[in-house]
A and B are shown apart, each in its own frame.
Chain A
């Protein structure tokens, strides 16, 4: 089995992402030619942005203040969900795991629904994301506590998955109950749960950038340990990894990245599951290649989906619905192909 050269994969994905950003920034209700987009971006980067926006023309304002924050948020969330999905699959030794397997999304959904029901506005626009984040973290702690440590002092993947499913089931029942209680707010709750990048600002983009940047660095630092964790704790230990410590650090890191992504954008399914799966075909299973490539591929894919719903479709459909509607069947196809090893 020959693996494609890593530099080409990363270079290709980075070019694709850059092209997507330019196309996405140009398309929408107000069409802006690509040359103009590039000129605006270059002017901003070189610090002369203020001089062209002095007369407050429309295109620079639309690109810089409306589209770019949304584009960057979507790309970062896509990358964060995909990279954390790859990490979850490694720790749980299960190619079908993702950030939602451990109930992180259900916790975020519960927190957000609670904030919307109680009309919690203490933290301004950050009220709902803050409670969503708190819900995700509390869920993670509950799942880790429930799964406990095995007799050998490490996390058993089946314990974690089972605990995640139990906790997620309880929480989704809780979300249903909140929807039942919320009379006129039920629409807002449902809309939040479906996920959206509409009206994301630079604040959101910055927050996700910090989380995905720190998380991505952590994942890359521990990617070799992650390779060994997939062999089981006994073998990982004999190859120089402290299995319990490495698993805990990666588990918490990946959950925090996923929690920030979900808190900012709502529930966007299938990214964490699908992207590492597709990327693994090209890079192979080595996490030192898989994680950076998943980060870029996830960014490309979610930005593409968000641009389609924002600028191509006649009416904006929640992004979570798009990723599930396209990702689900697509996943079925590649999953079946993998089940038949002679192909």
Chain B
């Protein structure tokens, strides 16, 4: 269980969260949705301990995040960030092996188990062929898959994804989300910031909708994803339909009167 309790957070004197309380239960795939600047990525940073709340606290299994050591936390929570910058020519395999660092003692080399996990993850993410290739020679989508694979290799019970499938084509987007959905089905906790509402509807059990730093709605996907919410939060017109076979929601956007300003 990952929980924020009445947290405040601001960048300088620009306040963002003021008394935000939201909790995430294991065995569930959560989507965080909201327009640009609504605080999605900041919430992820607070949940993984990269940022600290000004007031209130974030707890993991009832214990404050800053009460865990960094290394212990890295064995519980993995993060797939939006961007990957790497200026040194590590190979794909070496990059994914970095996900095992929190499990390997400082001066020890990776064991058989670590090599096995990395090979399995590379296989599952479609990177097995490029394992020995230098990361700088991969395409943007392939690099993002490497980052994804590294987080999977970390083998944590909490996975945080920050628009982690943004650069993927449909095959890999669905393939990667299937992998993490499998983790949630096995009792893991997945929290994903999603920009694509149809993908969110397809995968998320529950949605957390942020609007200007406030919790606009949280609950089962079908309850949160409504035309009224889209109008109020995203300022777009859309019709929500229900797929008769799978019972998942679909968002059919209307060009309508949506404007940038």
Q: Which of A315-341 contact B (CB under 8 A)?
A: 341
B147-160 vs A, CB cutoff 8 Å, 1 = contact: the mask equals: 10001001000001
* Chain B residue contacts of A239, Cβ below 8 A: 74, 98-99, 101-102, 154
Subset of 19 A-B contacts with CB under 8 Å? A2-B132, A93-B87, A95-B87, A151-B11, A221-B106, A224-B101, A228-B98, A230-B86, A230-B88, A234-B50, A237-B48, A237-B49, A239-B154, A240-B71, A240-B73, A240-B102, A280-B88, A284-B91, A284-B94
* Chain B residue contacts of A228, Cβ below 8 A: 98, 101
Of B76-84, B113-121, B173-181, B205-213, the segment with at least 4 beta carbons within 8 Å of chain A is: B76-84
A1 proximal to B (CB < 8 A): yes
Q: Which of A222-257 contact B (CB under 8 A)?
A: 224, 227-228, 230-235, 237-242
**How many Å lie between the Cα of A233 and that of B87 in the bound state?**
14
Q: Min CB distance, A196 to chain B, in Å? A: 34
**How many Å lie between the Cα of A95 and that of B154 in the bound state?**
27
Quick check: A1 and B132 within 8 Å, CB to CB? yes
B255 proximal to A (CB < 8 A): no
Quick check: B81 and A235 within 8 Å, CB to CB? yes
The residue of chain B having its C-beta at the shortest distance from the C-beta of A230 within the complex is B88
A152 proximal to B (CB < 8 A): yes
* Chain A residue contacts of B51, Cβ below 8 A: 152
Quick check: A237 and B70 within 8 Å, CB to CB? yes
B110-134 vs A, CB cutoff 8 Å, 1 = contact: the mask equals: 0000000000000000000000111
Interface size class of A (residues with CB under 8 A): 20 to 34
The residue of chain B having its C-beta at the shortest distance from the C-beta of A227 within the complex is B98
The residue of chain B having its C-beta at the shortest distance from the C-beta of A281 within the complex is B89
Contact of A237 among B50, B75, B90, B154 (CB under 8 A): B50
* Chain B residue contacts of A240, Cβ below 8 A: 70-71, 73-75, 101-102
How many residues belonging to B are interface residues under a CB distance threshold of 8 Å? 40
Knowing A238-B74, A341-B137, the reply to whether A1 touches B101 (Cβ < 8 A) is no
A-B interface, 4 closest residue pairs, ranked by CB to CB distance from nearest: A240-B74, A285-B88, A238-B79, A240-B71
Quick check: B94 and A286 within 8 Å, CB to CB? yes
B21 proximal to A (CB < 8 A): no
A121 proximal to B (CB < 8 A): no
**How many Å lie between the Cα of A156 and that of B70 in the bound state?**
20
Contact of B87 among A2, A94, A151, A237 (CB under 8 A): A94
* Chain A residue contacts of B151, Cβ below 8 A: 238
A114-150 vs B, CB cutoff 8 Å, 1 = contact: the mask equals: 0000000000000000000000000000000000000
Q: Min CB distance, A7 to chain B, in Å? A: 12
The residue of chain A having its C-beta at the shortest distance from the C-beta of B77 within the complex is A238
B163 proximal to A (CB < 8 A): no
Q: A228-B101, A238-B78 are in contact. List 7 more A-B contacts (CB 8 A).
A: A1-B133, A152-B50, A231-B98, A232-B81, A234-B50, A235-B79, A235-B81
**How many Å lie between the Cα of A286 and that of B160 in the bound state?**
26
The residue of chain B having its C-beta at the shortest distance from the C-beta of A338 within the complex is B89
**How many Å lie between the Cα of A230 and that of B101 in the bound state?**
14
**How many Å lie between the Cα of A242 and that of B68 in the bound state?**
12
B18 proximal to A (CB < 8 A): no
**How many Å lie between the Cα of A235 and that of B133 in the bound state?**
21
The residue of chain A having its C-beta at the shortest distance from the C-beta of B100 within the complex is A239
**How many Å lie between the Cα of A285 and that of B83 in the bound state?**
20
* Chain A residue contacts of B81, Cβ below 8 A: 232, 234-235, 238
B259 proximal to A (CB < 8 A): no
Quick check: A286 and B90 within 8 Å, CB to CB? yes
Q: Min CB distance, B70 to chain A, in Å? A: 5
Q: Which of A90-124 contact B (CB under 8 A)?
A: 90, 93-95
**How many Å lie between the Cα of A151 and that of B45 in the bound state?**
13
